[in-house]
Amino acid sequence: MKKLGSVVFACEADARAAADRWMLENHHFLLRNVRTGMISRRFDAKRGRPKKGEALDTGYLVEAEVDRNEMIIASERARLGRFVLASNDITMNGELMLQYYKGQNAVEKGFRFLKDKSFRVAEVYLKKEERIEALSMIMVLSLLIYSIAEWMLRKRLKETGETVLNQLEKPTQQPTLKWVFQKFRNINEAIIELKDSVHREIININEEQMKIIKLFGQGCEKYYI
C-alpha cells in the first residue's frame, strides 16, 4: 500500500481503478476509507516551491487504511490445514485410519534402524527373489521383536516408577532399545574349567543393567542370573 500511495495518477478514475486492482491482487487485506487526494506539481517535476504564476500539473493520490482480511485468512488456513486420508476398508473410522497412518512413521524409522551400521551387521547382497523375500521376513520379525521389547521396557519403567540413564546421563522412562543394547556391550561370560567341571558366570553386570534385566522378567533373568 505504501508503494501505491506514492504513485501520482493523471485522473481520479485512474487512482480508484488502481485501488481496485490492488485489492484484487492483495486479497489478504482490505482497504477502508478509500479516497483520492489531489496534488499540484510542476510539469518538469523539479523540486521546490513553484514560481509565482507558474502553470502546474494536477495529479491524484490514493489514500486508504489497510486491515487484514480475517475471513479470507481463516478460510485459507482451514483449507491448507486439511489433510485427506482415504481407504477401501469401509469398516474403518476416521480416528483409526489416522492412527494407522501415523503408525507408518514408526515402521519407516524401524527399517532405518535395521540398516544402521552401528549394529555391525555385514552387508548382504541377494539376487534370487525368494532369498530377498526370506531376508525381508527376517528383518520384519527382527523389527517386531525390537519394537515389542522397547515397548515392554518403557511400560515396565512407568509401572514401577524406575528410570534409566540416557545418553546425557539424565534419568528417562523412554529409552530406545538401541541405547539399552549399548549399555549391555561390556557384559561378558567367564568360563572356568576345573578338572572335570566347567563353571560359567556372567561378569561385569552393574546395578543399572540388573535393573533392566529384572524389568524384562524371569525369561530374561535366566540368561544372566
- Shared domain for 146 and 205, answered yes or no, is yes
- Let me know whether 141 and 196 are in one domain: yes
Could you write out the three-class secondary structure of the chain? CHHHHCCCECCHHHHHHHHHHHHHHCCCEEEEEEEEEEEEEECCCCCCCCCCCCCEEEEEEEEEEEEECHHHHHHHHHHHCCCCCCCCCCCCCHHHHHHHHHHHHHHHHHHHHHCCHHHCCCCCCCCCHHHHHHHHHHHHHHHHHHHHHHHHHHHHHHHHCCCEECCCCCEECCCCHHHHHHHCCCCEEEEEEECCEEEEEEECCCHHHHHHHHHHCHHHHCCCC
Phi-psi region of 33 (alpha: psi -120 to 50; beta: other; left: phi over 0): left
Q: Are 148 and 170 in the same domain? A: yes
Q: What is the pLDDT of residues 174-225, one digit of tens each?
A: 999 889 989 998 899 899 988 888 888 889 999 999 999 999 998 888 888 7
The CA distances from residue 162 to 67, 68, 167, 225, in Å, are 56, 53, 17, 20
Instruction: List the domain range (segments joined by +) for residue 155.
Output: 131-221
Residues 170 and 89 grouped into a single domain: no
In this structure, the strands spanning 56-68 and 29-42 are antiparallel
pTM of the model: 0.53
80 compared with 199, residue with greater pLDDT: 199
Residue ending a domain, choose from 78, 112, 145: 78
Q: Are residues 90 and 66 in the same domain?
A: no
Tell me, yes or no, whether 161 and 186 share the same domain.
yes
Domain boundary among 123, 153, 182: 123
Q: Are 190 and 207 found together in one domain? A: yes
Mean pLDDT of 72-98: 84
pLDDT tens per residue, range 107-164:
777 777 767 776 666 677 888 999 989 988 888 888 888 889 999 999 999 999 999 9
Q: Are residues 71 and 87 in the same domain?
A: no
Residues 119, 164, single domain; the answer is no
207 and 144 inside one domain: yes
Domain end call among 66, 99, 123: 123
Look at the chain and report how many structural domains it folds into.
3
Alpha-carbon distance of 106 to 80, in angstroms, equals 25
- Pair (148, 205) in one structural domain: yes
Nine cell digits for residue 140: 520384519
Do 99 and 154 lie in one domain? The reply is no
pLDDT tens sequence across 15-73? 888 888 888 888 888 887 888 887 776 545 556 565 665 566 678 888 888 888 888 88
